[in-house]
Amino acid sequence: MSYDTMIRYGLSDAMIKEASLIEGLYIGRVLSQSKDVYRVVTEKGILFAEVSGKYRFQTRKLSDFPAVGDFVMLDRDLGDNGNGIIHQVLSRKSAFIRKAAGKSAQEQLVLANIDTTFICMSVNNDFNLRRLERYLVLVWESGSTPVVVITKIDLCEDIYSKFRAVDSVGNGVDILGISALTKEGFEDVMSYITPGKTVALLGSSGVGKSTLINWLTGQEAIETQGLRNDDRGRHTTTRRELILLPGGGMLVDTPGMRELGMWDSDEGLDMAFQDVEVYFEKCRFRDCTHTSEPGCAIYEAIRDGELSEKRWQSYLKLKTEDAYSENRDDYLKNKNEKFKSISKFNKSKHYR
Ligand SMILES: Nc1nc2c(ncn2[C@@H]2O[C@H](COP(=O)(O)OP(=O)(O)OP(=O)(O)O)[C@@H](O)[C@H]2O)c(=O)[nH]1
Ligand SMILES: [Zn+2]
Digit-coded pLDDT (tens) for 138-158: 899 889 999 999 999 999 989
Residue 287 vs residue 317, higher pLDDT: 287
Residue 344: predicted pLDDT: 35
The mean pLDDT of 23-29, rounded to a whole number, is 95
| 197 and 346 belong to one structural domain | yes
Question: Does 275 fall in a domain?
Answer: no
| 12 and 34 belong to one structural domain | yes
Question: Does 331 fall in a domain?
Answer: yes
Residue nearest to atom 24 of ligand 1 (CA): 205
Query: What is the phi-psi region of residue 233: left when phi exceeds 0, alpha when psi lies from -120 to 50, beta otherwise?
Result: left
- 93, 110, 127: which is the final residue of a domain? 110
| 223 and 334 belong to one structural domain | yes
The pLDDT-based confidence of 225 (bands split at 50, 70, 90) is: very low
Atom in ligand 1 nearest the alpha carbon of residue 180: 31
**DSSP letter at 106?**
G
Residue nearest to atom 28 of ligand 1 (CA): 208
- Residues linked to residue 109 through DSSP beta bridges, in sequence order: 97
Which residues have C-beta within 8 Å of that of residue 296, sequence separation ≥ 6? 283, 284, 285, 288, 290
Rounded to the nearest angstrom, the distance between the alpha carbon of 179 and the centre of ligand 1 is 10
- Residues linked to residue 71 through DSSP beta bridges, in sequence order: 29
Rounded to the nearest angstrom, the distance between the alpha carbon of 119 and the centre of ligand 1 is 14
Total tally of structural domains belonging to the chain:
2
| 106 and 118 belong to one structural domain | no
Atom in ligand 1 nearest the alpha carbon of residue 214: 15
Which residues have CB atoms below 5 A from the ion given as ligand 2? Answer: 283, 288, 290, 296, 298
Question: Does 156 fall in a domain?
Answer: yes
- Percent of the chain at pLDDT > 70 equals 77
| 61 and 129 belong to one structural domain | no
Q: Which ligand is nearest to the CA of 124?
A: 1
CATH number where 73 lies: 2.40.50.140
User: What is the b/e burial string over 282-294, where b = at least 16 CB atoms within 10 angstroms of the residue's CB?
Assistant: ebeeeebebeeee
**DSSP letter at 34?**
E
- 76, 110, 144: which is the final residue of a domain? 110
Which of 105-109, 162-166, 172-176, 336-340 shows the lowest mean pLDDT across its residues?
A: 336-340
pLDDT at residue 305 greater than cutoff 90: yes
pTM equals 0.76
> Does residue 179 line the site of ligand 1, with CB under 6 A?
yes
Question: Does 319 fall in a domain?
Answer: no
Binding site members for GTP: 151-154, 203-211
Binding site members for Zn(2+): 283, 288, 290, 296
> Does residue 177 line the site of ligand 1, with CB under 6 A?
no
| 13 and 106 belong to one structural domain | yes
> Does residue 119 line the site of ligand 1, with CB under 6 A?
no
- 110, 139, 154: which is the final residue of a domain? 110
Which of 38-47, 140-149, 178-187, 216-225 shows the lowest mean pLDDT across its residues?
A: 216-225
SS (H, E, C) 169-235: HHCCCEEEECECCCCECHHHHHCCCCCCCEEEEEECCCCCHHHHHHHHHCCCCCCCCCCEECCCCCC
Residue 176: predicted pLDDT: 96
Question: Does 25 fall in a domain?
Answer: yes
Rounded to the nearest angstrom, the distance between the alpha carbon of 205 and the centre of ligand 1 is 8
| 29 and 96 belong to one structural domain | yes
Give the other-Cβ count within 10 Å of 303's Cβ: 11
Distances (CA, A) of 80 to 29, 33, 51, 154, 231: 18, 19, 18, 49, 11
Digit-coded pLDDT (tens) for 237-272: 446 789 998 888 999 987 665 556 544 345 566 667
pLDDT at residue 349 greater than cutoff 50: no
| 85 and 138 belong to one structural domain | no
Residue 248: predicted pLDDT: 85
> Does residue 184 line the site of ligand 1, with CB under 6 A?
no
pLDDT at residue 67 greater than cutoff 70: yes
> Does residue 208 line the site of ligand 1, with CB under 6 A?
yes
User: Residues 284, 48: contact at Cβ < 8 Å?
Assistant: no
> Does residue 151 line the site of ligand 1, with CB under 6 A?
yes
| 123 and 183 belong to one structural domain | yes
**If DSSP codes are grouped into helix, strand and coil, which group holds residue 53?**
helix
Measure CA 215 to chain center. Answer: 19
- Residues linked to residue 38 through DSSP beta bridges, in sequence order: 33, 49
Question: Does 318 fall in a domain?
Answer: no
Residue 246: predicted pLDDT: 83
Residue 332 vs residue 207, higher pLDDT: 207
**The domain containing residue 218 runs over which residues?**
114-227+325-351
Atom in ligand 1 nearest the alpha carbon of residue 213: 15
Question: Does 249 fall in a domain?
Answer: no
Secondary structure percentages of the chain, helix, strand, coil, to 5: 35, 20, 40
Residue 125: predicted pLDDT: 78
Q: Which ligand is nearest to the CA of 288?
A: 2
Letter for the amino acid at 222?
I
Question: Does 236 fall in a domain?
Answer: no
Give the other-Cβ count within 10 Å of 258's Cβ: 9
Digit-coded pLDDT (tens) for 156-180: 989 999 999 999 988 889 999 999 9
CATH number where 197 lies: 3.40.50
| 330 and 201 belong to one structural domain | yes
> Does residue 205 line the site of ligand 1, with CB under 6 A?
yes
The ipTM assigned to this model is 0.95
Nearest in space to 113 (alpha carbons), one of 136, 142, 75: 142
Residue 72: predicted pLDDT: 97
**DSSP letter at 307?**
S
| 204 and 57 belong to one structural domain | no
Rounded CA-CA distance 263/323 in Å is 5
pLDDT at residue 307 greater than cutoff 90: yes
| 97 and 16 belong to one structural domain | yes
